[in-house]
Copies of this chain bind each other. A is one copy, B any other.
Amino acid sequence: MKLKALHSGIIVSEPVVVMNGNDCLKLGVGLTDRVRITGKTAAVAAVVISDYVSEGTAIVPGTLLLKCGSETGDELDVAYSEPPESIRSIRKKINGGKLEKEEFDSIISDIMAGNLSEKEIIALVSSFSINNSELGEIAYLTRSMAETGAVLDLGVRPVFDFHSLGGVPGNKITPIVVSIVASEGLVIPKLSSRAVSSACGTSDYVDTFCDVELSSESLLKAVRNTGGVFACGNQDYAPVGEKIIKAERPMGIDPRPTMMASIMSKKVALGTTHLLVDIPYGKGTKIPDMESAKDFSDNLIDLGTILGIHVECAVSRADQPIGRTIGPVLEARECIEALENRGGDFSVIDKACGMAGIILEMAGERDGKARATEIFRSGRAHEKFLEIVEAQGGNPRLSSSDLVPGSVTKDVHAKRSGLVQMIDNPSMVAIAKGAGAPGDTGAGVMLLHKTGDRVNKGDVLFRIYAENQGKLERAIDSARSRRPMYVSEDPVEPVPESMIVRRIPSKEMLDLIRFRSSGKE
């Protein structure tokens, strides 16, 4: 059936075509059916019926029109489209069946092609049960996902990687970890992501001082020249993960099996052989307690074994922000200052050197943390950092003073004297987002005190940065309606000895020994 594309000003989360009821009858399609619409190219959309649309015309969202290579007023061919075959596999999975690699391939390629609705993707991700013995299926899913994008072939082994599950604000350690590890001559092509629901992702703050969107060639070249990168990789490597997250986000779900597949598929695509996973645990993170952290680690390590990746996990403290800043420019500045000054907030330095140390041990070093700390304190990490910045198109003489946060600020003062009892991560994130982060790169929060500090009434507890007064007001409102920091005379537990609470090594230490005796070192 030929229909004239009408007005494209409809925004929906998924492709739909709004058609007149009589046209639907003629075409033999009903609500929730799929139609294939063809202009210069073809695309699939769900049918919505409205007598608001005259016969012979169809309302098509702009993004969909673009996909068809058409514009408003063009004639489109509209035809019934069979539901994709892969729905059968999703049904099978929901009904308790086990899926084969080919079935995951077909599902994943339909997700990539936009043939499955968000409802169908949600059904798939909900049908996994981590309690089941499904690791083999998750490995299939991981491999299918890894095959949806580019594959990085560095031609060297081992390839190290570092991944944080996130959930703790201010976690600006990635460039430091990468710089330390690469200083030792190890290869660590670290690809991060931008914020999903947080105030600032690694790529958001790195983007303020060098390029994060690297082409495959630039990435290869940067890694070959420097050993490491801290770039952004979501679009190129296992890009289907983004589409799955897009379907999950409105429901606020991120079930472990697909979360694991999403993480590991990128590592497979990057050729990772050794992976350290940072698992921040506690309020606001994805992992509520140590027991879950241990379970999750075991699952991830076992999945790694199936995929041929040596995985270790480090459970880390997340009871207050890492460092003293939240927001792109502020976090970039704090990170670079730490490298320049070879020191800084305990939580940043201890966590970065601790994580880098575990990676060094995975590579055969004896006392990794001491070695990592030495590299950091000697200034070698800073040199390596500037080398990588230059390889990513940044200024090789970059200084922390180049980074200037938003000019509109508001200090929040202590209402009484005492000890800072706690800093509420979700509140701090909400305030930074209220101020405009991560879109407004200069927006964010700086903590002048952290848990356990003694403050006097009237002292500045934290400072809100924004790029304009409107958003500053919004952040102030957000701060007022919450309890971001709490001061009282109650005693506070002393500063922890280490930011890494527990290390969960792979069961496959033999693998490491085998690697060491194979003589690559």
Contact = CB atoms under 8 A, between A and B. Distances in A.
B52 A129 contact: no
B31 A21 contact: no
B10 A48 contact: yes
A426 to B, nearest CB: 15
A127 B96 CA distance: 10
Interface in A16-48: 18, 21, 31-32, 48
A94 to B, nearest CB: 5
Given A96-B131, A96-B256, A251-B123, A59 B52 contact: yes
A184 interface: no
Closest 9 CB pairs of A and B: A9-B51, A126-B126, A10-B50, A11-B49, A32-B250, A129-B129, A123-B126, A126-B127, A94-B255
A52 B16 CA distance: 15
A126 B253 contact: no
Interface of A: prevailing SS = mixed
Q: How many copies does the complex hold?
A: 2
A516 interface: no
B126 A129 contact: no
Contacts of A59: 50, 52
Interface string A58-76: 0100000000000000000
A120 interface: yes
Interface residues of A, number: 42
A53 to B, nearest CB: 9
A123 B120 contact: no
A255 to B, nearest CB: 5
Nearest to A125: B94
Contact of A10 (B52, B122, B250): B52
A252 interface: yes
A48 B7 CA distance: 15
B52 A31 contact: no
Contacts of A7: 52
A272 to B, nearest CB: 26
B50 A11 contact: yes
A7 B10 CA distance: 16
A126 B95 CA distance: 8
A397 interface: no
A48 B11 contact: yes
Contacts of A236: none
A45 to B, nearest CB: 14
A93 to B, nearest CB: 8
Contacts of A90: 251, 253
A253 B51 contact: no
A12 interface: yes
